[in-house]
Amino acid sequence: MRTRMKMEKSSGNVFADLGLPDSGELLPKAKLAHRIGVLIRERGLTQAQAASCSNSISRFYITRSISD
């Protein structure tokens, strides 16, 4: 015997649907983290290589914000 599940249409933001605070910030962060993960897998980077890329990007933004 099958039971029927009640379904609701999503707002497009699962964090808002769950009633989490700061849901407007959580969705873009999750999308960014997902995209970074996809790029790491596509490029076949190791954890150390990915960390090195991250450190380079961080240094760029820190240097840029200090010089602006």
pLDDT tens for residues 16-57?
Answer: 999 999 999 999 999 988 998 898 899 999 988 888 877 666
pLDDT of 53 reads 79
Distance CA 58, CA 47 (A): 16
pLDDT of 27 reads 94
pLDDT of 23 reads 94
Is the distance from CB of 14 to CB of 27 less than 8 angstroms? yes
- Burial of residue 26 (CB within 10 Å: 0-12, 13-18, 19+) is middle
Contacts of 50 (CB under 8 A, 6+ apart): 40
Of 63 and 11, the one with more pLDDT:
11
Of 62 and 16, the one with more pLDDT:
16
